[in-house]
Chain A
């Protein structure tokens, strides 16, 4: 253990943490509504809309995120009509934008599956009751379907957030210097592999721990307060890998 090296590595990796959080935040803020849209499309009675949502989810879940990032970063620049548009060119020439876009589209596919499960898990009687009260489609969605589905899907979505944090590491392959990218650079420069890995790993652990703490012991109990009379329990490190 080289103390001086660790002192040098910490501020570098903290700078990477900011980038990691930025990617994660954008991916969640845009990816969630997008995923909700795809989930509704999957369940809609319009056949072609449902088929499109199914295809989207299959393609994004069936290929590695790395390929998706490479297609957007390296591939789209090859298209002439994109290159002619200055705005597009400005957007796609930046590794950060491309990686964030890929991660957002990727998480939207997984989120759509999670929310679809939630929407399908609502008891039919609840919706019938809403209809019987004369609620319009939109009001029923806003007051009944979405809140119930969100609560059902929340544990799985919490898991998805921790996955997003980890997946943001792939942005380092297209020149973005977030935690993993900086860790790689430090490893190849100093060969203090174990020290750098430990520090970078700790940062990921802290972020995911914070996510789980907020979601599992605050949001989840808050949304089902009527059910649990007992005190909220913090489930330690439950995440599974999504597929």
Chain B
């Protein structure tokens, strides 16, 4: 068992493929999460400030994305753009290069679109949790709007949002597995190919599961550290 496994991973080169797939998974997760947090913050701000039409649009967006399976969202974005991208790629004569970059972009966009809907709710909750007195006090001492956001609202919002953001990240990294249906060579896809070629599916999928498990454990610890750091100076109840 041990010898067979080491031969599979090192001599046949699957170890490297799995490593590369893991890197792609983490990259899709991190970029998608970044995208999701950026848009989530914008959506939350629109909702929080009660911008007339925008806040209703935000409501519709978050309700739809959160009540439909992630896989369906991935299919929507993938099939919705595949024809268009193929046409653009052929037009510029880079069809192949386009194709490989394309599934990566689809992955990041769909993971980001899902994360944005959940992150928006988290940020909105965090913004609502800031005591109005804080903002009044800042205004009373004559803070400009920009300083109010960077010194008062921003730091407190992030502290309140952190546990929720941690949850969104854990779900996002697992959502990257859905992108494998577009053919992007991330962890699950690599395991799928390896399972088919070597006819040893159990080993490959268990390895993929272990990698995911390590990622989630590691990020849980990392978020715990950040949370402790942000909450220093806050009296424990």
Chain A contact residues, CB within 8 Å of chain B: 58-59, 62-68, 70-71, 74-79, 162, 166-170, 172-173, 179-180, 183-184, 187-188, 191, 193-194, 197, 200-201, 204-205, 208, 237, 239-243
Contacts and interface: CB of A to CB of B under 8 A. Distances in A.
A173 B75 CA distance: 12
B209 A71 contact: yes
B66 A74 contact: no
Interface string B212-233: 1100110000000000000000
A66 B179 CA distance: 11
Given A67-B212, A166-B68, A173-B181, A197 B188 contact: no
A201 B201 contact: no
29 contacts: A63-B209, A67-B191, A67-B209, A70-B195, A70-B208, A71-B202, A75-B195, A78-B199, A78-B200, A78-B201, A79-B202, A166-B68, A166-B70, A173-B181, A184-B79, A187-B76, A188-B79, A191-B83, A193-B80, A194-B76, A194-B80, A197-B72, A204-B69, A205-B68, A237-B63, A239-B66, A239-B67, A241-B118, A241-B171
The secondary structure that dominates the A interface is helix
Interface string B148-184: 0000000000000000001110110011011011000
A161 B188 CA distance: 26
A219 B180 CA distance: 39
B202 A75 contact: yes
- Overall SS of chain B's interface: helix
A75 B118 CA distance: 33
B217 to A, nearest CB: 7
Contacts of A239: 66-67
A187 B188 contact: no
Contact of A243 (B64, B170, B200, B217): B170
Contacts of A62: 212-213, 216-217
